[in-house]
Amino acid sequence: MRLRDLRTGEEREAAAAEAPPGAVAARDGDVAWVWFRSETYRLSPARSRRTARGGEETPSLEAPMPGRIAAVRAAAHASVSKGEVLVIVEAMKMEHAVRAPRDGVVERVLVSEGQMVGLGDVLVEMA
């Protein structure tokens, strides 16, 4: 299995072996959490960034943190330019703007104002 360390981006091929003595490991979905020698790591299967649609990357914009949707600025089929704010997620008195990664057209908006979202939930898909 090819795995990616989520903190540093380091990728490596790894065979499943018994956890080393002293390690504490747990799984949450496709993320493995490992505590080993005073450090905590998060790893998940490394994915190809290409999509079924053939080459071109289709950015799906995900929630950077769990929270509440404070505002939805994007509308389906609207043209947006790079850096434009699409959605604002709010948690613990902090707001975080999710911006368009490039010029393009919004394909779908999957959330509405006031909704609660989890970390990594897809908020907006761009064509």
Q: Cα–Cα distances in Å, from 96 out to 38, 78, 79, 100, 107?
A: 31, 21, 22, 13, 22
Nearer to another protein, 68 or 77 (CB): 68
47: which DSSP letter? -
Point out which span in 53-61, 66-74, 77-85, 99-107 binds another protein (CB under 8 A): 66-74
| 83-121: burial string, b at 16+ Cβ within 10 Å, e else | ebebbbbebeeeeeebebeeebebeebbbeeeeebeeeb
From candidates 85, 88, 91, 127, binder to another protein by CB under 8 A: 91
- Of residues 97-116, which lie at the interface with another protein (CB under 8 A)? 114-116
CB of 117 to another protein, least distance (A): 7
Nearer to another protein, 20 or 102 (CB): 20
From candidates 46, 55, 57, 67, binder to another protein by CB under 8 A: 67
